[in-house]
Structure 1
């Protein structure tokens, strides 16, 4: 199982939000490229980037920062989400050295886009499912849809999606522990690899996620915990690797 540090980009800085509220943010660094290097030096094998401004704008705002991180660490797998609403955007990111792009809002509102993207960029598409009480949220979590998270995941099981990033919004940035049960249920329902996000707070969360690795939970994204020091990336990855 992979421990995946998150770098959330807002106004050119590395921040963390609480429950997706743009006004409720903590700035951890004004050097996202340096932050990426820090996590690589701590042993990170993949990075999770989010263009927060892009998620609300519906178009990439931090593409130059993302390109700079990919250029600095060309061998590092990077996944990016936030404002990815066109095939042209996906192509630009992949050409810049990004490994996977995460489609969120568009996956709910226009599922055919995911199918087209998987066909065009085979093996490079992750679907981001952000849920509030089991219902999928869109547009930077500003809107809650009438679509159940498990139903959405099942819809993409056979179209070539590489993985799902599942975020429990109620726990995101709140340091209250990861929703292991819902994450495992989503993996079982879809048959797709699932990366847990939201509420990964300490090593106990990693231990609990390891117990559902056999269900298809392949990784854990962690943000506030690694910035505030309740998780050490190297130690967490060592735990995740242990039999």
Structure 2
């Protein structure tokens, strides 16, 4: 299982939000490129980037920073989400050196776009499903839909999606632990590998996710995204990845 550091970009800075609220952000660095280098040095094998401004306006805003990180670390797989609403944006990111693009809002509003993107860029599309009480949220988590997260995930089973990032909004940035039950429920219901996100805040979360991923039922949990915990020192990235490698 991969432990994936998150670099959330807002106004050119590396920040963390609480429950997706733009007004409740903590700035951890004015130099996101340096943070990327730091996490790579500590053993990261993939980075999770989010253009928070882009998620709200519906198009990339911090794209230049993403491109700079990709250029500086061509051997480090990057996944980027936030403001990806058309094929042109996907193509631009992939040409810049990003490995995976994350489709979130468009996956809810226009599920057919996911199939279109997978056909155009096979092996490079991740679907981001962010949920509150089991219901999918869109537009930078500003709106909660009437779409059930498990039902939506099942729609993408035959599209060729690389993986699904499942984020429990209520846990995100709150250091309260990952929602194991909801993550397992989604992983068991879907044939697509799941990356857990939201509340991954301590070593116990990593241990529990590894245990679940190894069960005979085969809940396909392939990774866990963590942000505030590694920035504040509550979780050691190197230790967590080493544990996953041995499990």
**What is the TM-score with the length of structure 1 in the denominator?**
0.99
Q: Does 1:68 align with 2:72?
A: no
Partners of 1:118 and 1:212 lie apart in 2 by: 28
Q: Which deviations, in whole Å up to 9, do the C-alpha atoms of 1:128-186 show, x marking residues without a partner?
A: 00000000000000000010000010000111000000000000000000001111111
Give the structure 1 partner of residue 118 of structure 2: 118
Structural mapping, 1:48-197, within 5 Å: 48-197=48-197
223, 228, 234: which one pairs with 1:230?
A: 234
Partners of 1:154 and 1:212 lie apart in 2 by: 20
Residue 215 of structure 1: SS of its match in structure 2?
coil
Partners of 2:100 and 2:151 lie apart in 1 by: 23
**What is the TM-score with the length of structure 2 in the denominator?**
0.98
Partners of 2:39 and 2:92 lie apart in 1 by: 24
Q: Which deviations, in whole Å up to 9, do the C-alpha atoms of 1:188-227 show, x marking residues without a partner?
A: 1111100000000100000000111131000000000000
Give the structure 1 partner of residue 206 of structure 2: 206
211, 215, 219: which one pairs with 1:215?
A: 219
Give the structure 2 partner of residue 241 of structure 1: 245
Cα shift at 1:187: 1.0
Cα shift at 1:64: 0.4
Partners of 2:86 and 2:168 lie apart in 1 by: 25
Partners of 2:244 and 2:190 lie apart in 1 by: 23
Q: How many residues align?
A: 243
Q: List, as ranges, runs of 4+ consecutive aligned residues in structure 1 with deviation greater than 6 Å.
A: none
Residue 170 of structure 2: SS of its match in structure 1?
helix
Residue 158 of structure 1: SS of its match in structure 2?
coil
Residue 102 of structure 1: SS of its match in structure 2?
strand
Partners of 1:240 and 1:169 lie apart in 2 by: 24
Give the structure 1 partner of residue 25 of structure 2: 25
Q: CA RMSD of the aligned region, Å?
A: 0.5
